[in-house]
Amino acid sequence: MRRPTLLTAMAALTLAGCFTDDPLPAVARPQVLRGELACDIRETAKVVVTLSGPDAEVAVTLTKGYGVAPVGSTLVAEGHVEAFPEAGMELFTTRFDAPADAGGPCGAQPVSLALSLHRRGKDAHVGGSLTAYCGKGVWHGVPARLLRLSGDLPLP
């Protein structure tokens, strides 16, 4: 009976020596990318992307609503970052809901907006679009309006 107890005690002492009191690595702080992108060449969109791993919070403020978003209001939504290491690029995507604009292409229907921006490597330049669809939660079909976006979102 003494032998199993002795072996258990020795194993416990050996395992205890395997651990160290090194501090845990610091948790990475979210990166914030912000910039003013050209929106359909003549207007602008202020864009803020807060990256936290594969997740992102995206905020977009348009200087002109184009009948698909309220002018000057900030659209905010949770998004996603997809890395494509084989192509050396990242893709930022998210979806926004916007209220109906009677003078816009969707009339009395609410508007669903899909944002897609891509960046190659560590380049600050991004390009993509904000695509509007008529109806709440509609993310397919014929777009009501496509707003092209391009500009710089510098890395911190």
Report the CATH number that the domain containing residue 101 is assigned in CATH.
Answer: 2.40.128
pLDDT, tens digit, for every residue of 74-127? 999 999 999 999 999 999 999 999 999 999 999 999 999 999 999 999 899 999
Give the tokens for residue 19. Answer: 């651990």
Q: Within a domain: residue 11?
A: no
Predicted local confidence at residue 29, as pLDDT: 75
Query: Does the pTM exceed 0.85?
Result: no
Taken in order 90, 94, 100, 105, is the CA torsion positive or negative?
Answer: positive
Answer yes or no: is pLDDT of 150 > 70: yes
Answer yes or no: is pLDDT of 53 > 80: yes
- Please tell me the distance from the alpha carbon of residue 107 to that of residue 68, in angstroms, as a whole number: 10
Predicted local confidence at residue 126, as pLDDT: 97
Q: Within a domain: residue 4?
A: no
- The residues that bridge with 44 in the sheet, in sequence order, are 38
Domain count, the chain: 1
Residue 39, CA atoms < 13 Å, CB-side half-sphere: 21
Predicted local confidence at residue 37, as pLDDT: 97
Predicted local confidence at residue 19, as pLDDT: 52
**The residue count for the chain:** 156
- The residues that bridge with 95 in the sheet, in sequence order, are 114
Residue range(s) defining the domain that contains residue 67: 30-152
Q: Within a domain: residue 24?
A: no
Residues 6+ apart with CB under 8 A from 10: none
Q: Within a domain: residue 17?
A: no
- Please tell me the distance from the alpha carbon of residue 12 to that of residue 35, in angstroms, as a whole number: 56
State what percent of residues in the chain have pLDDT above 70. 82
Query: In the predicted model, what is the mean pLDDT of residues 35-43?
Result: 94
